[in-house]
Structure 1
Amino acid sequence: MNKICTFLFLVLTFNLSAQSQLQFDKKYVQCEDKWVAFPADSTGVYNFGFIYIDEAAGLTLEYGDTFKIDDKGKFITEKKVKTNSMKYRLQPNNNLVALIPESKLKELYVDKVPDWLKNYKRDENSIIRLFRWGFMYNGWNECEKALEYLEKANKIDPDYKGLRVELAFSYNCLKQYQKAVDVLKIALNKDPLDAYTNKELIYAETKNGNIEEAENVCRKVFKECKDKTYNSENAYNVLQAYYIRKDIKNFNNWFAEANSYLMSHEKIKSLSEQMKTELKQ
Structure 2
Amino acid sequence: MKYIITLLFLFSISLNAQSVLNFDKRNVQCEDKWITYQMDKDSTYTFGFIYVDSQAGLTLNYEGKFKIDNDGNFIRLESTTDNEIGFMKVRLQPNRTAIAEIPDSKFNELKIEKTPDWLASYKTDENSVERLYRWGYLYNGWSECEKALTFLEKADIIDSNFKGLQTELAFSYNALGKYNKAEASLKKAIKNDPSDCYTLKELAYTYTKLLNLEKVSETYKLLKEICKTNEFIQETAYNLAYEYFKIKDKAKFKDWKTEAEKWSTSENQYTKNLNAMETELNK
**TM surpasses 0.5:** yes
* Residue among 223, 226, 238 paired with 1:224: 226
Q: Distance in 2 between matches of 1:78 and 1:46?
A: 10
- 1:15 and 1:73 in contact (8 A); partners too: no
Q: Distance in 2 between matches of 1:71 and 1:229?
A: 59
Q: Distance in 2 between matches of 1:58 and 1:20?
A: 32
How far residue 265 of structure 1 moved from its aligned partner, in angstroms, is 5.4
* Structure 2 equivalent of residue 27 of structure 1: 26
* Structure 2 equivalent of residue 68 of structure 1: 67
Letter in 2 for 1:51: I
- 1:262 and 1:272 in contact (8 A); partners too: no
The alignment yields a C-alpha RMSD, in angstroms, of 2.3
* Structure 1 equivalent of residue 4 of structure 2: none
- 1:236 and 1:262 in contact (8 A); partners too: no
Letter in 2 for 1:98: A
Q: Distance in 2 between matches of 1:20 and 1:247?
A: 58
Residue deviations 1:154-208, cap 9 Å, x none?
0000000000000011111111111111110121122222110011111111011
Q: Distance in 2 between matches of 1:199 and 1:96?
A: 35
Matches within 5 A, 1:217-256: 217-256=219-258
- 2:26 and 2:95 in contact (8 A); partners too: yes
Letter in 1 for 2:72: G
Q: Distance in 2 between matches of 1:177 and 1:26?
A: 29
Q: Distance in 2 between matches of 1:200 and 1:104?
A: 46
Q: Distance in 2 between matches of 1:264 and 1:200?
A: 25
Q: TM-score, normalised by structure 2?
A: 0.89
* Structure 1 equivalent of residue 82 of structure 2: none
Unaligned runs of 5+ in 1: 1-7
* Structure 1 equivalent of residue 17 of structure 2: 18
How far residue 90 of structure 1 moved from its aligned partner, in angstroms, is 0.6
Matches within 5 A, 1:137-156: 137-156=139-158
- 2:235 and 2:260 in contact (8 A); partners too: no
- 1:36 and 1:48 in contact (8 A); partners too: yes
Residue deviations 1:245-278, cap 9 Å, x none?
3333322232234431267551111011111111
Distance 1:245 1:104, change over 3 A: farther
Matches within 5 A, 1:132-211: 132-211=134-213
- 2:50 and 2:59 in contact (8 A); partners too: yes
How far residue 69 of structure 1 moved from its aligned partner, in angstroms, is 1.1
How far residue 96 of structure 1 moved from its aligned partner, in angstroms, is 2.0
Q: Distance in 2 between matches of 1:101 and 1:245?
A: 53
Q: Distance in 2 between matches of 1:224 and 1:84?
A: 55
- 1:235 and 1:261 in contact (8 A); partners too: no
Identity of aligned residues (%): 48
Are residue 119 (structure 1) and residue 118 (structure 2) matched? no
Structure 1 SS opposite 2:253: helix
- 1:37 and 1:100 in contact (8 A); partners too: yes
Q: Distance in 1 between matches of 2:49 and 2:13?
A: 27
Moved more, 145-154 or 231-240: 231-240
Distance 1:84 1:67, change over 3 A: closer
Matches within 5 A, 1:56-135: 56-78=55-77, 85-135=87-137
Residue deviations 1:73-105, cap 9 Å, x none?
11111478xx97411111112222111111111
Q: TM-score, normalised by structure 1?
A: 0.89
Moved more, 149-158 or 217-226: 217-226
